[in-house]
Amino acid sequence: MAKYNDTSPEGRSVRLLRVGEQVRHILSELLMRGEVHDDVLTSHSVSVTEVRMSPDLRYATVFVKPLLGADEAEVLKALKTNTAFFQKEVAGRVKVKYAAKLKFLADESFDTAAHIENLLRDPKVAQDLDSDKQ
């Protein structure tokens, strides 16, 4: 039997990706329309960048990023406080056997990409890259 690999999109099934994308759209819509009665969440624009579902679809890890990264800790705390509301809404809109338990995490991929970009712009690295072309 093949091992399950959830670290890369290639290792996840089409169903996991599809359900994760449905959950992402629902959460994005809830946040965009301000359906959550929370002052922090209504005052911040929050992007749901990715949702990773567990193989049994019982758990969902939700990666979020506030606009420009402002007040990230405060936004994450508000999301975690309102997890029950989000779970109820997702359960009612996604047609799966079990309601997924949501876990909100900050999306660090943008910070990682910016760090790599800065490293590549470093004059010493650029010099090495230029010497490889010759």
Task: Give the tens place of pLDDT for each residue, 103-123.
Answer: 999 887 766 777 777 777 777
Query: Which two tokens mark 15?
Result: 């169903």
SS3 assignment, position 8: coil
DSSP state, residue 58: S
Of how many residues is the chain composed? Answer: 134
Of the candidates 80, 71, 76, 92, the residue with the CA atom closest to the CA atom of residue 29: 92
Q: How confident is the model at residue 129 (pLDDT cuts 50, 70, 90)?
A: low
What's the pLDDT score for residue 6? 47
Query: Which two tokens mark 6?
Result: 């959830």
SS3 assignment, position 63: strand
pTM to 2 decimal places: 0.75
**pLDDT at position 24 over 90:** yes
Q: How far is CA 113 from CA 43, 65, 104, 120, in A?
A: 27, 14, 21, 11
All domains of the chain in start order, with CATH: 9-107 (3.30.300.20)
Of the candidates 98, 100, 105, the residue with the CA atom closest to the CA atom of residue 84: 100
